[in-house]
Chains A and B, each alone.
Chain A
């Protein structure tokens, strides 16, 4: 499984766990809308919970409604935002000298 698919699976599991969804991660489709008609049926309280979970688990901060509208459309858009966030994040500092031997 490539990185993108693994990340989407991880997001789905995170959603099921944090939002206490009564379905399995496998039942969530990548492109399925999260809110509105024909969607996963999330509501405003779920959106707030999702914002907290994305911050806590991935360090992705979503503060503005505009960003939320873009990111919280589907699992795919969340995965894209996380991938972008990871690539923009500074690389971790090198280990201290002598720690690798």
Chain B
């Protein structure tokens, strides 16, 4: 577990240095830690944090029109190809967590999300992380440029981007 005093260290993937500040969109959702998510030490098992990120990403999708069903309708898959998590302090059973997902603008055709997890109403970070998703056909062929659906979304988001 990492030293929380080292925060904020917005880590990007694979040990690569963080990119320069770019415009982002953000959404936060809350979720309650369930009994089956804690381990013998009564803390959330590390693997569940990926699910928490997914929940935040789905909330983001509902807010900004980026849900998986729409991708599927357009014949696009959006697999996660990179995942990074830094753990600072454990979440425990019945904690109410605030999980934020921040999508930052990218030149290349991918979705790069950064995440932060806190107890609702508290400042200290429990974990941060990031994912990268690419666009593929259902046959698994990588799309090298933004698909039309995403070009529409990017245009619609233009007035919404916020600089961190």
Contacts and interface: CB of A to CB of B under 8 A. Distances in A.
Interface of A: 20, 43-45, 47-49, 51-52, 56, 62-65, 68
Given A43-B81, A45-B132, A45-B134, A52 B142 contact: no
A45 B13 CA distance: 11
Contacts of B108: 45, 48-49, 51-52
B144 interface: yes
Interface of B: 13, 16-17, 81-82, 107-110, 132, 134, 141-142, 144-145
30 contacts: A20-B16, A20-B17, A44-B81, A44-B134, A45-B13, A45-B81, A45-B82, A45-B108, A45-B110, A45-B132, A45-B134, A47-B142, A47-B144, A48-B108, A48-B109, A48-B110, A48-B134, A48-B144, A49-B108, A51-B108, A51-B144, A51-B145, A52-B107, A56-B107, A62-B144, A63-B144, A64-B144, A65-B141, A68-B142, A68-B144
Given A45-B110, A45-B134, A51-B144, 13 more contacts: A20-B17, A44-B81, A44-B134, A45-B81, A45-B132, A48-B109, A48-B142, A48-B144, A51-B108, A51-B145, A52-B107, A56-B107, A68-B144
A63 B145 contact: yes
Select the residue from B17, B108, B109 with max chain A CB neighbours within 10 A.
B108
